[in-house]
Amino acid sequence: MVQWTDFERATIQDIFSKMDYETVGPAALSRCLVVYPWTQRYFGNFGNLYNAAAIMGNPLVAKHGQTILYSLERGVKNMDNLKDTYAELSVLHSEKLRVDPDNFKLLTDCLTIVVASRMGKAFTGEVQAALQKFLAVVVSALGRQYH
Amino acid sequence: MTSLTAKDKEAVKAIWAIVSGKKDDIGTDAVARMLTVYPQTRTYFSHWKDLSPTSPAVRKHGVTVMAGVADAVSKIDDLKGGLLALSELHAFTLRVDPANFKILSHCILVVMAIMFPKEFTPEIHVAMDKFLAAVALALAEKYR
């Protein structure tokens, strides 16, 4: 099981309690679709993803960005049981959505960058390490049911 | 990886014009951050007495790295040729595993997002990510 230091727990709780889910989720997902365009392959029915402006303004992208972030919030509330928390979502992503799990890291890298831009100087190396560790464990839990 | 389009090069030059005045600070923070977030990178610096974010060695290295990035921007039309000497340095002397180029690139992007949140748009982000990947490729050119 993953061990969390007091600092890591407090940092993750702090980041997510102060986060504006309505904007950070959409910003992270749309950034991912722009920076790593091959991820668009999973959003064929989202309408216009033709260029960066279209992606950033796409309401379906925005909605899904929020969905992802609310799902991350579940992980924040269950940091000691991420495996079970994401077991169902893992099956969904592998069996139904068929997402290459390497893509999860691309999205979390974009989320890290969005959080960094919002937090500014408060996003120290230690805070970054804690966030990246949390996201890496979530990604690992999401990849567990793939076979 | 794909090569840089004209649009990518324009974006890189545009953001570089905005951030280059702060490149020493960017480099210092990126290297310090890398050593904190990716402790395995500390193995390359066992000869430093002080690996803390405020150490002079960290700052000096951050400045060195960003001078290299600045050089790469000026040679953006021929990175392989322009960075030949640096590639030989990394291949034969430093022997840094190329996986670490990705790590440091990520840290540079995070610092740019922190220091220039408005300017570091997704379009600029993708151009810089491609550019740093191209620089990393040029640096690994002589490895084998």
Residue of A nearest to B29 (CA): A125
Q: Is residue B100 helix, strand or coil? A: helix
Candidate from A113, A118, A124 with C-beta closest to B125: A113
Q: How confident is the model at residue A147 (pLDDT cuts 50, 70, 90)?
A: confident
Interface of B with A (CB under 8 A): 32-33, 35-37, 53, 106, 109-110, 113-114, 117, 120-123, 125-126, 129
* Mean pLDDT, range A20-37, rounded to an integer: 96
Whether A44 has its CB under 8 Å from any CB of chain B: the answer is: no
> Cα angle vertex A74, ends A70, A78, to 5°?
160
Q: How confident is the model at residue A1 (pLDDT cuts 50, 70, 90)?
A: confident
Q: How far is CA A67 from CA A21, A62, A72, B114, B127, in A?
A: 9, 9, 9, 25, 28
A60 vs A65: CA distance, rounded Å? 8
B113·A116 Cβ contact <8 A: yes
Q: What percent of chain B has pLDDT over 70?
A: 99
Whether A123 has its CB under 8 Å from any CB of chain B: the answer is: yes
Residue of B nearest to A56 (CA): B122
| pTM (2 d.p.) | 0.93
Q: What ipTM, to 2 d.p.?
A: 0.89
Q: From the CA of A81, how many Å to the nearest CA of chain B?
A: 23
A67 vs B12: CA distance, rounded Å? 33
Pairs of residues, one from chain A and one from chain B, whose beta carbons lie less than 8 Å apart: 53
Q: From the CA of A124, how many Å to the nearest CA of chain B?
A: 8
Residue of A nearest to B119 (CA): A117
pLDDT in tens, A47-103: 999 999 999 999 999 999 999 999 999 999 999 999 999 999 999 999 999 999 999
Phi and psi at B19, nearest 5°, equal: -95, -15
pLDDT in tens, B85-103: 999 999 999 999 999 999 9
A64 vs A28: CA distance, rounded Å? 10
> Cα angle vertex A19, ends A48, A62, to 5°?
10
Phi and psi at A123, nearest 5°, equal: -85, 70
- The amino acid present at A105, given as its one-letter code, is K
- Residue A146 is predicted with a pLDDT of 87
* Mean pLDDT, range B19-29, rounded to an integer: 98
